[in-house]
Structure 1
Amino acid sequence: MTRFDELLAPHMDAAYNLARWLTGNESAARDVVQESALKAFKFLHRFEDGNAKAWLLTIVRNESFNWLKASAGHRWIAIGDDIPEDDSALAHSDTPELSAIHTQDVALLQRALEALSPVFREVIILKELEDMPYKDIANVTDVPIGTVMSRLARARAMLKTQYMKLCCHE
C-alpha cells in the first residue's frame, strides 16, 4: 500500500462532501477533488506526521475557493438532488406521510445550507457532517480557533433563520 493510499484515500468521501457543499456543483466537486488529490500526491513528501484528513481538506478547501473565484461570473447551480426512495434515513418512518414530511425537511435544510456563504457553510460541513474538532477546522480554514467557534455560532443562527424563512414560504 502506498503512503497516499494509507493516509489520504480514506478521506476522499469527506473531500468530496466538502467540495460539493462549497461549490454547490457535483461536477465541480469531482474536479476539485481530483485536482486536490493530484496536489496532495505531488506534495505528499512535504506532509509531516499529523492529521492527514485536515491536511487534505485544507487543499480541497483552497481548490474549492479557487473554483468559486474562477466561476464568480456564473450563477451557482443548486445541488437539488432528490433524496433516493431507499434512503436509510427514511427507513424509520412508519407512514408515507412521515416520509414525505422528512423528505421536505431535508430538502429545506439543504436549500437553507446552500444559501449560506461558503465561509459559513464550510464550518457547518466540517463540524456537523465531518465531525471534526475545532482545532482541525481551524487548521483547514487557516483561522484561529476562536474565529471557528464564532463562525460556527453565526452559521448555525443563519441556518436556523434561513430554514425558518423557507418553512414559512413553502
Structure 2
Amino acid sequence: MPSDIHHPAAAFNRTSFEACVVPYLDAAYNLARWLARDDTDAQDVVQESMLRAFRYFHSFHGDDARVWLLAIVRNTFYSLRSKAAADAKHETFDDEAHTLIDEAPSPEARALISVDIQALQAALENLPHPLREVIVLRELEECSYKEIANITGQKIGTVMSRLARARERLKAELSSSSTEARRHDVR
C-alpha cells in the first residue's frame, strides 16, 4: 500500500525524522567509510541506511537516535557486504581525501605530520573489521562502551576486549612506524 507523503502523519514523520536522525548523517558516513574502506561504497551504505531508518522510523522510541542510526549503518554494511561476491572486496584507500593539511608548520613539520597521519590511516586500515569498527566508534565517534555494545550487538565485555586488542595493535604498528620516522628526523 503506497504511502501518501502529503498526508499530515507522513509530513510529521518526515519532520521528526529530519530533526532526530539527519543531524547524525556525518557520523553515519564516517562509520560507513571506515567499514567499507571506499567512498562510493560508504555513500551507498549511508543511502540505504537512511532509507531503512526512514522506513522503520516508527519503531524508534526516542532513546538515542545516533546509536540507533549507527546500528542501522553497521547492519546495512554487513548485509550489503554479505550479498557482494567474495572477490569484490575493495582494498583501496584515497590518501588525498583523508590527509589533513596544516598550513602553519614548516614543510619539514608537514612532512612528519603527513607521515603520522598516513601511518595512523594505514594502521586503521590493517585492523580486522571487528576491531576497526569498535575503535572508530569509540575514538572517532566518541561512543560509550554501552552505545558500542548496542550498535554492534555485542556484550560490553566483548567491546572492551576488542578495544584493548585494537589499541594494542595500533600502538604496536604506530611505534614501529614512529621509529622509522625518527630515523629521518633532523633536529
- Paired residue secondary structure (1:90): coil
Query: Distance in 2 between the 1:96 and 1:136 partners?
Result: 41
**Cα-to-partner distance string for 1:29-56 (whole Å, 9 max, x where unaligned):** 0000000000000000001110100000
Deviation of 1:168 after TM superposition, in Å, equals: 6.1
In angstroms, what is the RMSD of aligned CA positions?
Answer: 2.1
Selected match of 1:147 from 140, 155, 158: 158
Q: 1:169 to 1:91 in 2, by over 3 A?
A: closer
Q: 1:39 aligns with which of 52, 56, 61?
A: 52
Aligned residue in 1 for 2:35: 22
Deviates more, 1:20-29 or 1:159-168: 159-168
Aligned residue in 2 for 1:125: 136
Aligned to 2:94: 80
Aligned with 2:93: secondary structure? coil
Q: SS at the partner of 1:82?
A: helix
Relative to structure 1, the CA distance from residue 84 to residue 144 in structure 2 (aligned partners, 3 Å threshold; closer, same or farther) is closer
User: Which amino acid in the other structure matches residue 150 of structure 2?
Assistant: N
Map of 1:99 onto structure 2: 110
Aligned to 2:4: none
Mapped pair 1:57 → 2:73: no
**Aligned-partner Cα distance in 1 for 2:169–2:23:** 32
Alignment gaps of 5+ in structure 2? 1-13, 182-187
Tell me the residue number matched to 1:156: 167
Aligned equivalents of 2:60, 2:153: Cα separation in 1 = 16
Tell which structure's C-alpha radius of gyration is larger: 2
Q: Which runs of 4+ in 1 moved over 4 A?
A: 165-170
Task: Label 1:8 to 1:71 Cα distance change in 2 as closer, same or farther (>3 A).
Answer: farther
Which digits, 9 at most, give the CA deviation of each residue in 1:82-129, with x for residues without a partner? 1678x4x62452x11001110111011101100111110011100100
3-state SS in 2 of match to 1:136: helix
Separation of aligned partners in 2, 1:60 and 1:20? 10
**Paired residue for 2:123?**
112
Percent of paired sites with the same residue = 44
Q: Is the 8 A contact 1:22 1:122 kept in 2?
A: yes
CA offset at residue 67 of structure 1? 2.9
Provide the rounded CA distance (Å) in 2 between the counterparts of 1:143 and 1:91: 42
Please state how far the C-alpha of 1:65 moved relative to its aligned partner. Answer: 1.5
AA aligned to 2:88 is H
Structure 2 residue corresponding to 1:90, chosen from 88, 96, 102: 102
Whether the 8 Å CA contact 1:78–1:114 is kept in 2: the answer is no
Instruction: Name the amino acid aligned to 2:121.
Output: Q
Q: Which runs of 5+ in 1 are unaligned?
A: none
User: Which is further off, 99-108 or 157-166?
Assistant: 157-166
Is the 8 Å Cα contact of residues 112 and 166 (structure 1) preserved in structure 2? no
